[in-house]
């Protein structure tokens, strides 16, 4: 199967990213996110428009930095930043506590687009985490309580037993937000929009936050 990789090729022909891209990167992000959700509705080949690859840096036992990535769901964005929710006792949360800077990637393959976002990471206020938690399905709330995220477990049966234990614990009552679960906000200082073009001569527009808090826009070579 790996012998196919050197010859793997596809054309990118779906669109272009004009020099007249908006001055505010969030305006372009909103437009592209709308396009992604519309694509899912129209063709169902972009199943998770809000899926985002979150990359952090861990310090290995040998002292070397080790980049680590995983897919999570983007749960909000505005002028303050891009929000995800997670177990705050997880490895990614620990990595962000030690190095509070991260990168996000939204890969919208059917649209031949991607967005890269970089910046510092901060905790959401408890009230914001509480508000989002209240809207989660009960099953997801119980799952958050039941899972010791990324810790080893003996079997799937043992994992299911943890879930049943939490189901019994909160039977007949609301499920409160655990103290180890909450939101993180990536406050961007750089965004890059990539649009596939013919002959690998792709469009790339980068926005970099300047010292005066204005966005500086640059076209990058592919």
For residue 32, say whether it is annotated as part of any ligand binding site: no
For residue 145, say whether it is annotated as part of any ligand binding site: no
Q: Is 200 considered catalytic here?
A: yes
- pTM of the predicted model as reported, rounded to 2 decimal places: 0.90
The full set of domain ranges for the chain reads 9-220
* Class of the CATH-defined domain 9-220: mainly beta
Residue range 132-188, pLDDT digits in tens: 999 999 999 999 999 999 999 999 999 999 999 999 999 999 999 999 999 999 999
CB 121 within 8 A of CB 187: yes
For residue 12, say whether it is annotated as part of any ligand binding site: no
For residue 149, say whether it is annotated as part of any ligand binding site: yes
Phi-psi region of 213 (alpha: psi -120 to 50; beta: other; left: phi over 0): left
Residue range 80-110, pLDDT digits in tens: 999 999 999 999 999 999 999 999 999 999 9
Per the residue annotation, which of 68, 138, 200, 219 is the catalytic one?
A: 200
């Amino acid at each position: 199967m790996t012998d196919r990789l050197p010859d793997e090729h596809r054309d990118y022909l779906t669109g272009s990213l004009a020099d007249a891209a908006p001055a505010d990167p969030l305006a372009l992000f909103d437009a592209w996110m709308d396009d992604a959700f519309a694509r899912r509705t129209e063709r169902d080949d972009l199943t998770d428009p809000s899926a985002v690859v979150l990359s952090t840096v861990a310090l290995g036992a040998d002292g070397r930095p080790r980049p680590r990535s995983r897919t999570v769901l983007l749960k909000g964005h505005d002028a303050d930043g891009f929000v995800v929710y997670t177990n705050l006792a997880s490895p990614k949360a620990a990595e962000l506590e030690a190095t509070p800077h991260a990168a996000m990637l939204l890969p919208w393959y059917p649209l031949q687009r991607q967005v890269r976002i970089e910046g510092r990471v901060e905790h959401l206020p408890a009230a914001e985490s509480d508000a989002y938690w209240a809207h989660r399905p009960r099953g997801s709330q119980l799952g958050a309580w039941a899972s010791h995220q990324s810790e080893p477990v003996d079997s799937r049966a043992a994992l299911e037993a943890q879930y049943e234990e939490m189901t019994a614990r909160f039977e007949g009552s609301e499920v409160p937000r655990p103290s180890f679960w909450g939101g993180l906000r990536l406050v961007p200082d750089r965004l890059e929009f990539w649009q596939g073009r013919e002959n690998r001569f792709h469009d790339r527009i980068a926005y970099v936050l300047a010292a005066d808090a204005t966005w500086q826009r640059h076209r990058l070579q592919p």
